Amino acid sequence: MPDSVALPASDRVRLRRGAHLGHYGHDDVLAVLDAGLVAHVGVTTPDGPMVLPTAYGHDGSRLYVHGAVANAALRAAVGHDVCVTVTILDGVIFGRSAFHNSMQYRSAVIRGTARPITDPAEQRRALQLISDHVAASWDSARSAHDAEIRRTMVVAVELLEASVKIRTGGPMDEPEDVDGPHWGGHVPIRTTFGHLEPSPDLPDGIAAPCSIAALAGSDVHPRGPRPGRG
């Protein structure tokens, strides 16, 4: 269950609108990160603000994102304050009035300084965490070449300033509308991984690793641990 007792680490992550939906416990943050697939990294570049969608991983203490060393947005993030968000959409809420339409969601906001990972061992470990975030695939794939590692930039953001917002339930309609003629409720969103589709040039006799095969037909955003995570 979310830890509603924990306090925000700073005013920068304190929820003001919908404050009753906020959670600040470390486990709350990790639960959203574990269930999510894509992070959006907000950075300030010489050309103006930019939001970068990217894969990510974490070790419980810091969030890792990566990209090509030529990635201008990622280079601009290094050494500067960034805002990272991960959002999971669980349903669409329809109120008796359209002004009470909403969504069911779980979202995490992390703020901090983007630190470049320069230690080779930490860089490989971070890349493995990113690769294994959805399903453990690093050890079952060909080992990364040193040249591939050199062409990749990894940055870390400490999980120190973070908040989680969780919206469940149905519409918050006006009391006078409840007995009216208009429908109110919600439509759940259930996204699943499809069946495995081997590459057309895959030789016969090569089976998918168990961690990847376990994804087939499973929930994309379950509320508990995903298949393939140890």
* Local confidence band at 223 (pLDDT 50, 70, 90 cut-offs): low
In tens, the pLDDT along 64-84 reads 999 999 999 999 999 999 999
Determine what percent of the chain is predicted with pLDDT higher than 70: 94
**Per-residue DSSP letter, 132:** T
179 to 43, 93, 173, 218, 227: CA distances (angstroms): 47, 18, 10, 39, 44
Burial (Cβ within 10 Å: 0-12, 13-18, ≥19) of residue 77: buried
Residue 139 in this model has a pLDDT that exceeds 60: yes
In tens, the pLDDT along 169-208 reads 999 999 999 999 999 999 999 989 999 999 999 999 999 9
- State the pTM of this model: 0.89
**pLDDT value at residue 217:** 81
Answer CATH for 11-172+185-213 from 1.10.10.10, 2.30.110.10, 3.90.1580.10, 3.40.50.300? 2.30.110.10
Q: Read off φ and ψ for residue 68, nearest 5 degrees.
A: -65, 150
**Domain-wise residue ranges, the chain:** 11-172+185-213
Q: Which whole number is the average pLDDT over 30-37? A: 96
Residue 60 in this model has a pLDDT that exceeds 60: yes
Contacts of 156 (CB under 8 A, 6+ apart): 62, 63, 64, 114, 115, 117, 126
Residue 3 in this model has a pLDDT that exceeds 70: no
Residue 229 in this model has a pLDDT that exceeds 50: no
In tens, the pLDDT along 68-125 reads 999 999 999 999 999 999 999 999 999 999 999 999 999 999 999 999 999 999 999 9
